[in-house]
A = this chain, B = another copy of it.
Amino acid sequence: MSKQNLPVVDLNAAACCPPLAVRPMDAEQAVAVAPMFKALGDPVRLRLMSMIASAPEVCVCDLTDAFDLSGPTISHHLRVLREAGLVEGDRRATWVWYRARPEAMRQLSALLETAAAA
């Protein structure tokens, strides 16, 4: 399961850059970063992301049980998160385990930082 671990989003291209509020983001970076936000823009994926990020790693079987959705649907959402570079997963024996990629989360968090508290 090597292909599964390669995020489609290039974190190096996207990781950098000042917060959104510092100066207008250029088109190239926007294209690089938008898929990450898009991946989090679905309630199911947001919960999946949170479940995965809240533990060192999580088995797909546990994720599937937590939703009233078919296995293939969960698998699809995990793929979106994976291709956005937000999580990674690997098979160990019978099960596939997913982990969050904290660098990606930190990057998005930094992008949204604002001047100071209101």
- Identify the A interface with B (CB < 8 A): 20-27, 30-31, 33-47, 49-51, 53-54, 66, 100, 102-103, 105-106, 108-115, 117-118
Instruction: Give the copy number.
Output: 2
A21 close to B109 (CB less than 8 A): no
B24 close to A50 (CB less than 8 A): yes
| A103 and B33 alpha carbons, distance in the complex (Å) | 21
A54 close to B100 (CB less than 8 A): no
Other-chain contact of A47, B25, B105, B111 (Cβ < 8 Å): B25
Known contacts A42-B38, A113-B109: A47-B33 contact under CB 8 Å: no
| A50 and B27 alpha carbons, distance in the complex (Å) | 11
